[in-house]
Amino acid sequence: MTLLRTKGLSRHFDGLKAVDGVDFALDPGEIRAIIGPNGAGKSTFVSLLSGRIKPSAGQVFFEDRDVTGMPAHKRVRMGIAYTFQITNIYGAMTVLENIAIAAQNRLRPHLFSRKPVSEVEIARAATKAAQEVGLGDLLYETAGTLAYGHQRLLEVAMGLALQPKLLILDEPTQGLSDSEIENFQEVVRRVAQSATVLLIEHNMDVVMALADRITVLDNGRVLAEGSPGEIVHNDAVQAAYLGAPA
C-alpha cells in the first residue's frame, strides 16, 4: 500500500506551470527527499499535498482516499503535517504555547470534545516535542525572539507534536549551522521510526545522509526518481540540476 499518491497533479499561476502533471507515490516509513533547482515547483507541490493550495488539475490520495477537495485542516487531522519554508510561528507566544497549540489538536480533536484532556497533559506533550528537537531549555522564551535556527526547530517541533503519519519539511536546514544540522538529522531519523518523512532539501549532504529515495523536480515535472546512488549517476539530473556535463 502507498501512503500518499498523486495523479496528474498540476497547479498553474496565470499561465506559469508551477506544478505540471506530477504522478508521485510515497511508501509508508520511507524518508523521501525532493530536490530540484529554485523555482522547480517543490514548495508548490508539497503545498498541494497539504491542501494549503488548491490544484488546477489532478488528484491527491492519502491512504487510498481521495483528499483532493478536502480542506487543509482535515488533512492535518488525517495525519499530514506541514512545516513552512518561511518560518511561520506564533511570534508573540512562548515556545511551549506554540507547541501546545499543535499538541492540542491531537489530544482534543473537537472543539467540544466530551473528554477534554487537561492543560497538564497538553503541556506534557508539548514539552516532550520540544525536548525531541532540543528546545527543552527554551520553553518559556518568546518564540519571536529566538535565534533563526531555533525558530526552524520550533517549526519541526510543532509538526512532531501533531504525531503525524506524514511529516512534510520544506527546506528545514536552510540557515542552520553545521552543528544544528547534525542535531536536525538525528531528529529526522528518530521521527522516521514512526512516521513517513517528505523532505525538500537543498543541502545534498543532508539528502544523501537521510533519504531512502529521491525525487527530482524540474520545471514542475518529475525529472527522475530513484535511490541516492541512482540519482547521483543519472545523466539527465547531472545535466539539469547538478550542472555537470552529461
Ligand X SMILES: Nc1ncnc2c1ncn2[C@@H]1O[C@H](COP(=O)(O)OP(=O)(O)O)[C@@H](O)[C@H]1O
Kindly report the length of the chain.
246
Using the rule CB under 5 A, which residue among 6, 34, 41, 43 binds Mg ion? 43
Residue 246 interaction partner, one of Mg ion, ligand X, another protein, none, beta carbon < 5-8 Å per kind: none
Residue 50 interaction partner, one of Mg ion, another protein, ligand X, none, beta carbon < 5-8 Å per kind: another protein
Segment interacting with Mg ion (CB under 5 A) among 16-24, 41-49, 67-75, 211-219: 41-49
Residue 101 interaction partner, one of ligand X, another protein, Mg ion, none, beta carbon < 5-8 Å per kind: another protein
Q: Measure the CA–CA gap between 178 and 195, rounded to whole angstroms.
A: 25
Min dist CB 36 to ligand X, Å, is 6
Q: Measure the CA–CA gap between 44 and 141, rounded to whole angstroms.
A: 32
Q: Which residue has the cell 523532505?
A: 199
Q: Measure the CA–CA gap between 75 and 91, rounded to whole angstroms.
A: 25
Tell me the residue type at 2: T
Please identify, using beta-carbon distances, which residue of 46 and 223 lies nearer to another protein.
46
> Going along the chain, which residue ranges are E strands?
4-13, 16-26, 31-35, 57-62, 65-66, 80-83, 166-170, 196-200, 213-218, 221-226
Q: Measure the CA–CA gap between 210 and 199, rounded to whole angstroms.
A: 9
Min dist CB 18 to Mg ion, Å, is 10
Residue 44 interaction partner, one of Mg ion, ligand X, another protein, none, beta carbon < 5-8 Å per kind: ligand X
Residue 12 contacts residue 68 (beta carbons within 8 Å): no
Using the rule CB under 8 A, which residue among 1, 14, 38, 111 binds another protein? 111
Please identify, using beta-carbon distances, which residue of 1 and 111 lies nearer to another protein.
111
What strands lie across the sheet with 65-66, from one edge to the other? 16-26, 4-13, 57-62, 65-66
Residue 69 interaction partner, one of ligand X, another protein, Mg ion, none, beta carbon < 5-8 Å per kind: none
Among residue numbers 17 through 76, which ones bind another protein (CB under 8 A)? 50, 52, 71-74, 76
The pattern of x and - marking residues 124 through 163 that bind Mg ion according to CB under 5 A reads: ----------------------------------------
Residue 192 contacts residue 174 (beta carbons within 8 Å): no
Segment interacting with another protein (CB under 8 A) among 4-12, 21-29, 80-88, 189-197: 80-88
Q: Which residue has the cell 487531522?
A: 77
The three-state secondary structure class of 55 is coil
Please identify, using beta-carbon distances, which residue of 112 and 193 lies nearer to another protein.
112
Q: Phi and psi (nearest 5°) for 157?
A: -60, -35
Residue 79 contacts residue 165 (beta carbons within 8 Å): yes
Q: Which parts of this chain interact with another protein (CB under 8 A)? A: 50, 52, 71-74, 76-77, 82, 84, 88-93, 97, 100-102, 104-105, 108, 111, 116, 118-120, 122, 158, 162
Binding interface with Mg ion (CB under 5 A): 43, 85
